[in-house]
Amino acid sequence: MSLKYKSIILFLTVITLLTSCEKLFFTPEISSDPVTTFEYLWDKVDQQYAYFDVKNVDWDEVYSRYSPNIQADLSNDSLFFYLGSMLNELKDGHVNLFSEFNISRFDISKLGPKNIDYRFIQDHYLGTDYYITGPFRHDFIENGQVAYVRYASFSDLFSDENMLYIFNRYKDTEGMILDLRQNGGGYMMNIFKLLSYFTLFEDAIYTTCIKSGPGYDEFTEQEEIYATHYDTVLHYNKPIAVLIDRGSYSATSMFSLATLALDNLFLVGDTTGGGLGMPNGGQLPNGWTYRFSITRTLTPDGLNYENGIPPDYYAILDSSDMQQGYDTVIETALSIILNP
Amino acid sequence: MKILKLILFLLLGSILLSATETDTSYTNGQFLCSGIGSGFGSYKDMGTSPLLYRGISGILVFGCLSESAERTWEYRMNTNYFGGFINPNYTLGYFSEEIQLSYLHTIPVFSRSDIFFKAGGRLSTSVAGAFNPAYENASFNIDLFASMSAQAQITYVFERPEKKLKRHTIPKTQYAAFYNIDLPVLLFNARPKFSYVPDGSGILFDKHYFLGGFRMQNKIGIRLFLPNGNAMDITYLWKMFTSGAKDIYRLETASHNLQLSYYFKLD
């Protein structure tokens, strides 16, 4: 090979090695300073948060109030305090800021009383020999007339065998109490799976839509969601009281919303915490991460219960009832089931 | 990345400087190939983070190659992986499965007996997925890409004469050094819509579709032909992609891999 061709190939090699740099084509790296981080987060929420109207928050006013506090030399602690406080203006349990040293949150359950004392239920209703089947704590109450089933978290998975055992055991009862108080939510799939044991209802149980643009009212078309996603062989068709409180959040609120469309399920207790939107997450220029809701869920007739689903029968734990050994919420449910 | 470039530059340079002209017929034939490589990469998806994740990359290759003095056909399946970090707290996994079909035709006016200049094109389609547990419902995403690109390759075929050392004799060895560049003509992309999450019914791949972006692949390497007709090569492979201004959230990826491949001669 002549020196000429060797030179050409070596020249190409050098050119390749020198030019194989993606920086020439990529967008410049973003600054991680506090001002850029603040602006980025405010802008993301402004464009993608789904509930400004329901929360009645003027996000521009929030910007005006917080931006003067954000300086280039702000410490991480202070920046986190301001960003977390800004997000908490949304009063939404699905909104968080995550850093290595703290997590900002708005505790929806504090908007109402904790409407359950599980130790009290054990002492006065279940005793010590109640059954534990999968994630469910359950037993007969009220002289065997009613089934009490406690489901503490929609994050807890359950099997068909779990449900079949429970429904076979209580098939001769007059009704069931499904206690979802302080159930903070979990997996969406558990909503549909649990519902499928309670109903053969084939109409839409709620509708959902997703942000489709930066405007506050830019959403996709409402999409109908149906309950019958699982082939369940056994259904419980007797009255079912679903016990709720402000700590019944997210997936539990979704389940409660679905009961509005079902005839044999009714809600007893306090208004739920809401949280019907699906939170997505992202990362800020300084590396912290965030989440907030970008979908909205409505009843089939278009009602928005993001701030909480009210009970069909309002009941709050009463200390004088408890002194007599009664859980006010359970007693309310029992009286409705046994005296239809 | 600089280490990969330096290794390849020294390797290629030293072999070329000892080259002599040779018969080129042994480079022709049908080959089955498999290869493995690793290196460094970077990843940024503006839909979830404005930050560039940097980390390690890997590639697995399976395919077949039909090479002659007039033309080259190549079919490849590439499995790429990238594991990136912002700091120890945020990690991201990105994988892609790519199918490529390439055709190169020799341009006689620029070629001679031991140097082949080839030009042609490549069709490519790939599915790519990213996972970052920090992003809640946006933790997992899948994208689809298809492209048609123009391609050029220069190959220099040569042999290194037998070399006698003190105790050993290194036999005459035949090589092909090549440089390949791939530039996009048409790119089709399926990327997340505005809100970057599954919709309410759980459809994960709710996408917007657009033409655009920029994709480039640069490959330089050297192939060694074994006495049994098989071959092996070492290649420096640089790939970069940006989904461009038409995307709602721009995706930018790049990888630099040093790849070792083995070719089984079929005929």
Reduced to 3 states (helix: H, G, I; strand: E, B; else coil), residue B165 is coil
Both A182 and A323 in a single domain? yes
Q: Which of A231-245, B4-18, B87-101, B185-199 has the lowest mean pLDDT?
A: B4-18
pLDDT at A160: 86
pLDDT at B86: 87
Structural domain includes residue A288: no
pLDDT band at B137; cut points 50, 70, 90: confident
Judge whether A100 and A114 are in contact, CB under 8 Å: no
pLDDT at B200: 45
Judge whether A48 and A58 are in contact, CB under 8 Å: no
> What average pLDDT score do residues B109-113 get?
85
Judge whether A156 and A186 are in contact, CB under 8 Å: yes
Judge whether A116 and A181 are in contact, CB under 8 Å: yes
Both A41 and A148 in a single domain? no
Smallest CA–CA separation between A235 and chain B, in Å?
A: 24
Smallest CA–CA separation between A243 and chain B, in Å?
A: 26
Structural domain includes residue A118: yes
Both A175 and A123 in a single domain? yes
A185 part of contact set with chain B, CB < 8 Å: no
Both A96 and A190 in a single domain? no
List all residues of chain B from 55 to 84 with a beta carbon under 8 Å from chain A: none
pTM: 0.85
CA distance linking residue B98 with residue B216, whole number of Å: 14
φ and ψ at residue A160, rounded to 5 degrees? -60, -35
Judge whether B90 and A287 are in contact, CB under 8 Å: yes
Both A239 and A188 in a single domain? yes
Q: Which residue of A has its CA nearest to B213?
A: A25
The DSSP symbol for B21 reads -
ipTM of the complex: 0.83
Both A122 and A53 in a single domain? no
**Has residue B14 got a pLDDT over 80?**
no
> Of A137 and A227, which is predicted with more confidence?
A137
Both A142 and A88 in a single domain? no
Both A143 and A44 in a single domain? no
Q: Of the residues A53, A80, A104, which one is the last residue of a structural domain?
A: A104
Structural domain includes residue A218: no
The DSSP symbol for A67 reads G
- Locate A7 and state its tokens: 């030179």
B134 and A289 in contact by Cβ < 8 A? yes
Contacts of B236 in chain A (CB under 8 A): 16-17, 20
pLDDT band at A226; cut points 50, 70, 90: confident
Instruction: Name the β-bridge partners of B152.
Output: B119, B181
CA distance linking residue A126 with residue A79, whole number of Å: 49
Contacts of B166 (CB under 8 A, 6+ apart): none
pLDDT band at A229; cut points 50, 70, 90: low
Q: What is the CATH number of the domain that holds A189?
A: 3.90.226.10
List all residues of chain A from 106 to 145 with a beta carbon under 8 Å from chain B: none
Number of domains in chain A: 2
Q: Of the residues A104, A130, A152, which one is the last residue of a structural domain?
A: A104
> What average pLDDT score do residues A213-236 get?
78
Both A248 and A168 in a single domain? yes
B136 part of contact set with chain A, CB < 8 Å: yes
**Has residue A263 got a pLDDT over 80?**
yes
A219 part of contact set with chain B, CB < 8 Å: no
The 10s digit of each residue's pLDDT in B171-208 is 888 899 999 999 989 999 999 888 776 554 455 556 88
The DSSP symbol for A29 reads P
Residue A84 neighbours by CB distance under 10 Å:
21
Judge whether A67 and A35 are in contact, CB under 8 Å: no
* Mean pLDDT computed over every residue of chain B: 86
List all residues of chain A from 220 to 249 with a beta carbon under 8 Å from chain B: 220, 223, 225
Structural domain includes residue A299: no
**H-helix or E-strand spanning residue A132:** strand A131-133
pLDDT at A38: 98
Smallest CA–CA separation between A268 and chain B, in Å?
A: 27
Structural domain includes residue A291: no
φ and ψ at residue A9, rounded to 5 degrees? -65, -40
* Mean pLDDT computed over every residue of chain A: 89
A22 part of contact set with chain B, CB < 8 Å: yes
CA distance linking residue B118 with residue B187, whole number of Å: 23
Both A90 and A124 in a single domain? no
Which structural domain, as residue segments, surrounds residue A317?
Answer: 112-199+235-273+308-338
The 10s digit of each residue's pLDDT in A279-318 is 889 999 999 999 999 988 898 888 999 999 999 999 999 9
A251 part of contact set with chain B, CB < 8 Å: no
φ and ψ at residue A259, rounded to 5 degrees? -65, -25
Which overall architecture, per CATH, does domain B2-262 show?
Answer: Beta Barrel (2.40)
Both A183 and A326 in a single domain? yes
pLDDT at B113: 81
Closest in B5, B136, B218 to A280, CB measured: B136
Both A59 and A179 in a single domain? no
* Helix ranges restricted to H, A29-101: 34-48, 52-55, 59-66, 76-88
A101 part of contact set with chain B, CB < 8 Å: no
pLDDT at A242: 96
Would you call A238 exposed, middle or buried from its count of C-beta atoms within 10 A (0-12, 13-18, 19+)? Answer: middle
**Has residue B16 got a pLDDT over 80?**
no
pLDDT band at B11; cut points 50, 70, 90: low
B220 and A16 in contact by Cβ < 8 A? yes
Judge whether B45 and B251 are in contact, CB under 8 Å: yes
Structural domain includes residue A287: no
Smallest CA–CA separation between B182 and chain A, in Å?
A: 12
The 10s digit of each residue's pLDDT in A173-218 is 999 999 999 999 998 888 888 888 876 667 788 888 888 899 999 9
B88 part of contact set with chain A, CB < 8 Å: no
**Has residue A108 got a pLDDT over 90?**
no
Q: Of the residues A65, A84, A104, which one is the last residue of a structural domain?
A: A104
Domain definitions of chain B by residue range:
2-262
Strand order, beta sheet including A204-210: A223-226, A204-210, A295-298
The 10s digit of each residue's pLDDT in B76-106 is 999 999 999 988 788 999 999 999 999 999 9
Q: Of B42, B20, B254, whose CA–CA distance to A2 is shortest? A: B20
Structural domain includes residue A157: yes
> Of B219 and B204, which is predicted with more confidence?
B219
Contacts of B197 in chain A (CB under 8 A): 210, 278, 280, 294-295
Q: Which residue of A has its CA nearest to B87?
A: A287
> Of A270 and B69, which is predicted with more confidence?
A270
Structural domain includes residue A54: yes
The 10s digit of each residue's pLDDT in B22-80 is 555 667 889 999 999 999 999 999 999 999 999 999 999 999 999 888 899 999 999 99
